Structure 1
């Protein structure tokens, strides 16, 4: 599958370009970015061509991977789908439901495949754990904590990007938590409560379709020593915690690329497709509407 990369930021440099260029089932044809010089440097480092015109790149490939801020991603994903390209998207698909909905519509109309890279779902140990808990059922409640330190300590993280500073933990790590909770507890019927804490930390209470409830604590300003992800579920089968993965994001992205190739061949939607990405965006938008003004 001939694939293009849209984006030249830290995630593109550290994960996307190395994985796509090394993947046996992909041919990384080109790179486009909003900074042409950065696109040139990234493309040269991975044996690809830099494109100044995004439409020219779309015409030369079968698929695109997008490593851009979510609302930039949504517009380009629509454009790529209309050009007949399969989509490997990052999370969140967009920060506005209308943007994510436009992506879903474009995918359906063009009959292209879509996979959204929810990292935890594509790690083998955590992915298998999620499947087992979804099959077990009978869940009563869950608590998820996704605590990043992007804007804590020295503040020099390469991921301290403008869109994360603007949209915060709700939109950056919230999709990770929801990607685990939704397949296990079911869709969210209602965001029951939303509150802000120290340093932009967000606390949510969710009411799920199966009758279970969940609470989420999301932050990008946790001290490094307190950062990390943790999820616990309780129900008829007992109490279980999301296992720590021995794999990294690059391994997970390779599996997401495998999933895109398989979905394009079979025509069967993937569980983490653009429609699932839309649902995550809708839930987060509902939560955002309930949040009070910043506590800081």
Structure 2
């Protein structure tokens, strides 16, 4: 990857107009001192126009025209729409700020990783950029005597009385917790325990899944994932055990997703400046997709 020291703010295009783009991606990109939000593209032109007006930028009808006008793209789209657009942007030499999972097919993820080999990239795994969780993950990654651990992401966006804007997401409803919150769990387990060599799984109620993972380090881990749990049962927890004792994930959200996304923008700008790959780059994102596909096969 070639380094690039920008003399001016990095020009971004935003792809997507849904709740996440409205609440997080767009406002963070518009407010960040190191970025210029050049424009917004969406699958619904009227939504792109409305969001562009809110963000004091312009709407684009042609995604390739937006890609041509910027240095980097940020994507807030379903993964299998994100992946081919990100490939087009990377092949045009544009840096990438993507959401997880980068794709839900192994071929799509590998094509993207190959296309992005010459640009800077960051995938927004929320916990890895949270002011509360990220330092804890970094601290645990520096130890080599882990025995076992677990990360459970038990959500309730599809519980009967839930009021989550994500509940209207067709891809989440179709792919379930494995693909929506499974990437978050793996983003903690992989840096701490190492790559996964074996996956087994068991289906629970509705979209709930339980995975057991064997890591290259010899440690094992488990994760329980759900989007359909009762609200009173929902929580994000992590516990790691090793020769030095037991440690638990602190308060997860820190200052909230807007601040975390701002940190992800910082990370991409640093990768652009130095040419050094970020640990949460597209190649890491592709590996997460490979493991989730392996888990999906095991669950069948």
TM-score in terms of structure 2 length: 0.95
Whether 1:2 and 2:11 are equivalent positions in the alignment is yes
Q: Which residue of 2 aligns with 1:287?
A: 295
Q: Which residue of 1 aligns with 2:136?
A: 129
- In the TM superposition, structure 1's runs of 4+ consecutive aligned residues that sit over 3 Å from their partners are none
Q: What is the distance in 2 between the residues matched to 1:212 and 1:164?
A: 30
Whether 1:76 and 2:85 are equivalent positions in the alignment is yes
Whether 1:47 and 2:56 are equivalent positions in the alignment is yes
Deviations 1:30-89, CA, capped at 9 Å, x for gaps: 000000000000001001110000000001100000000001000000001111110000
Q: Which residue of 1 aligns with 2:6?
A: none
Q: Which residue of 2 aligns with 1:209?
A: 216
| Aligned residue among 142, 157, 164 for 1:157 | 164
Q: Which residue of 1 aligns with 2:230?
A: 223
Q: What is the distance in 2 between the residues matched to 1:120 and 1:25?
A: 22
| Aligned residue among 33, 44, 58 for 1:35 | 44
Q: Which residue of 1 aligns with 2:96?
A: 87
Q: What is the distance in 1 between the residues matched to 2:197 and 2:86?
A: 28
Counterpart mapping for 1:53-202 below 5 A: 53-108=62-117, 111-160=118-167, 161-191=169-199, 193-202=200-209
How far residue 136 of structure 1 moved from its aligned partner, in angstroms, is 1.8
RMSD: 0.9
Whether 1:234 and 2:241 are equivalent positions in the alignment is yes
Deviations 1:232-252, CA, capped at 9 Å, x for gaps: 010111000111133211111
Q: What is the distance in 2 between the residues matched to 1:77 and 1:200?
A: 28
How far residue 221 of structure 1 moved from its aligned partner, in angstroms, is 0.5
Q: What is the distance in 2 between the residues matched to 1:156 and 1:239?
A: 35
How far residue 156 of structure 1 moved from its aligned partner, in angstroms, is 4.4
- Can you give the 5+ residue segments of structure 2 that lack an aligned partner in the other structure? 1-9
- Can you give the 5+ residue segments of structure 1 that lack an aligned partner in the other structure? none
Q: Is the 8 A contact 2:11 2:36 kept in 1?
A: yes
